[in-house]
Every structure is written in C-alpha cells, then in structure tokens.
C-alpha cells in the first residue's frame, strides 16, 4: 500500500496548550480521508503543520517520500500539496478570471519568473484554462467581476477551483462546504467525487456529516489534539469512543 502523506509523532503546543499530541496519520494515495472532531480539536492546526504555516515541535511530515518540515509554503505547493482555507482566501481586488489565472501562472512559471514584457492578453493557453475552470464551477459569465463582490459560497467554490487548476496530487480542504446552501453543498460533493475518479487524493476537514459520509473512504476522529479513532465510515459510526468525544455521551451516563 502506498501512502502519499505520512504524519508521524507530530506534537504542537501553543503556550501551555497541547494543540496536537503524538499524531500518527497515514493517507493512502487516491483516497478521500476525512478528519472530523469537535471545535478546537486541532484539525486546522494539523493542516497548518502540513502546509508549512506552522512548524510542529516534534515529529515528521513526509509527502511523496519528501520531508515537508521546514519547507516554505510555496515549495510545498510546488511539491503538489494544495490547501483550501476555512475562510476563503482569494484575491478580492482581482476579477474572477485573474483569480483563476494566478494559480495557472504559478503552475507554469514556478516560484519566481520575471516576465514584464509578455502581454497578459496574449497568454491564450492560461486564459483558456482559467475560463474552462470557471465554467466547471458555473461562474464563467461573471468572469470580469471582482472576486470580492461574490457571495461566500461562490468565493469558496472559486477557491476550490483555484486549487484544482494546479492539478495537485493532494488537496487539503478545510470545511469546503461551511456556510453553503444545501444545493451548493451537493454541487461541491459532486465536484469532489469527480476528482476521486481522477485519482486525486483529498484530505477533508468537515463538520457536515452528510458531506463526510458521502465522500470519505477513511475517517479519522480528532479530539483534544489526539487521534482517537481511524477507520471506515461504518466503523467510525459505531465506535463508542467517537460517540463519547463527539456527542459528549459521558455526561449522560
């Protein structure tokens, strides 16, 4: 079995708070792995440790056989790991088309390229790819609108599409459907299911159990900085420990 992402013994403390303690997580290539857990369990911290926003105190993060600890965010992006944030991180002052072109340019130009004498309007393949990506999320008609004026759901879909245009081998999604209306959520689920058939590996943090159980192949449950269970959706559903942590059934007993 090949693991695309291998997290071993990751610890992270903020002041006196143990945000993550001894996290062991292996993500199998080509699968969808969901991470669930109550608020403050350390889900986002774990993702931040993967993409270089935070550096774990101890432990290792190996992606495709490469050590990711200490690498810069842009280097990790070029290794093939792309993250979609919880609050949409887009370019609010640029148009939707430009928002799409930036990641496409990143894929082509690398971390730095000085090309001031190329004309943006003549970059046909980049524009074409960006337009196609906008069509996939149904925003092609608003291509010349500023991204800042979009609704929250559209911003989120835009950000997912911006991640996808780079064709990453691992996509990290932090609550991709939070704040979306039900039909938008379903559209997002369909979009993400489609990716699985393309062989893209995904890690999803999600609160919406409908999304989790319709997408995930494997689920890990995180509570108070520890992984308390990992298994198939059915195993997790029936795991007493999970019920205890998630639904707080201990108090009832």
Partner 1 sequence: MKKLTLKNNWLVMLIFSTVVLTAPIWLSPLGANYPDLLQKFAIFGIFAIGFNILFGLTGYLSFGHATFLGIGSYSAVWCFKLFSMNVLPGIIIGTLIAGLFALIIGYVSLRRSGIYFSILTLAFAQMFYSLAYSVLTPITNGETGLQLSNEDPRYIDALFGVAVEPGLPSTNLFGQIMSGYPGFYFCAILLIIGFYISLKIFRSPFGLKLRAIKSNQTRMRYTGFNPRPYLLTAFIISGMYAGLAGSLMAVTDPLAGAERMQWTASGEVVLMTILGGSGTLLGPLFGVVMIKYFENIFSAMNPSTLSEFFNFLPEFLQQVMVSITQHFVGQGWHLTLGALFMLVVIFLPGGVMEGVTLVNKYIRLKLGLVNTASKTKQDPVRKNLVDPIAQPLTEQTNDSQKEEVK
Which residues of this protein are in contact with partner 1, per CB under 8 A?
A: 51, 72-74, 77-78, 82-83, 85, 89-94, 98, 101-103, 105-107, 109-121, 123, 126, 139, 141-142, 144-145, 149-154, 162, 166, 181
Is the CB of 79 or the CB of 229 nearer to partner 1?
79
Instruction: Report which DSSP code applies to 95.
Output: B
Residue 22 CB burial class (10 angstroms; 0-12, 13-18, ≥19): middle
Report the nearest approach of partner 1 to the CB of residue 93 (Å): 4
Least distance to partner 1, CB of residue 202, Å: 16
In whole angstroms, the minimum distance from the beta carbon of 15 to partner 1 comes to 23
Among residues 29 and 142, whose Cβ is nearest to partner 1?
142
Q: How many CB atoms lie within 10 A of CB 128?
A: 11
Residue closer to partner 1, measured from CB, 120 or 209: 120
Shorter beta-carbon distance to partner 1: residue 112 or 197 = 112
| C-alpha–C-alpha distance, residues 188 and 184, integer Å | 6
Least distance CB 76 / partner 1 (angstroms): 8
């Amino acid at each position: 079995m090949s693991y695309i992402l291998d997290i071993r013994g990751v610890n992270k403390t903020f002041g006196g708070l143990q945000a993550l303690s001894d996290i062991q997580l292996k993500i199998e290539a080509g699968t969808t792995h969901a991470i669930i857990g109550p608020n403050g369990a350390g889900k986002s911290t774990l993702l931040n440790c993967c993409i270089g926003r935070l550096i774990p105190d101890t432990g290792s993060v190996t992606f495709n056989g490469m050590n990711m600890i200490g690498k810069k965010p842009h280097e990790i992006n070029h290794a093939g790991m792309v993250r979609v944030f919880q609050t949409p991180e887009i370019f609010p002052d640029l148009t939707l088309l430009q928002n799409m072109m930036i990641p496409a340019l990143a894929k082509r130009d690398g971390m730095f390229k000085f090309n001031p004498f190329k004309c943006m309007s003549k970059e046909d393949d980049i524009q074409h790819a960006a337009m196609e990506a906008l069509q996939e999320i149904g925003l092609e008609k608003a291509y010349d609108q500023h991204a800042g004026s979009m609704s929250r759901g559209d911003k989120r879909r835009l950000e997912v599409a911006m991640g996808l245009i780079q064709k990453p081998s691992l996509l990290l999604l932090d609550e991709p459907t939070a704040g979306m209306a039900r039909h938008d959520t379903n559209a997002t689920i369909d979009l993400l299911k489609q990716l699985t058939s393309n062989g893209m590996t995904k890690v999803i943090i999600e609160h919406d159990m409908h999304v989790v159980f319709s997408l995930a192949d494997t689920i890990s449950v995180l509570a108070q900085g520890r992984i308390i269970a990992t298994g198939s959706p059915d195993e997790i559903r029936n795991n007493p420990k999970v019920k205890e942590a998630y639904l707080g059934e201990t108090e009832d007993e």
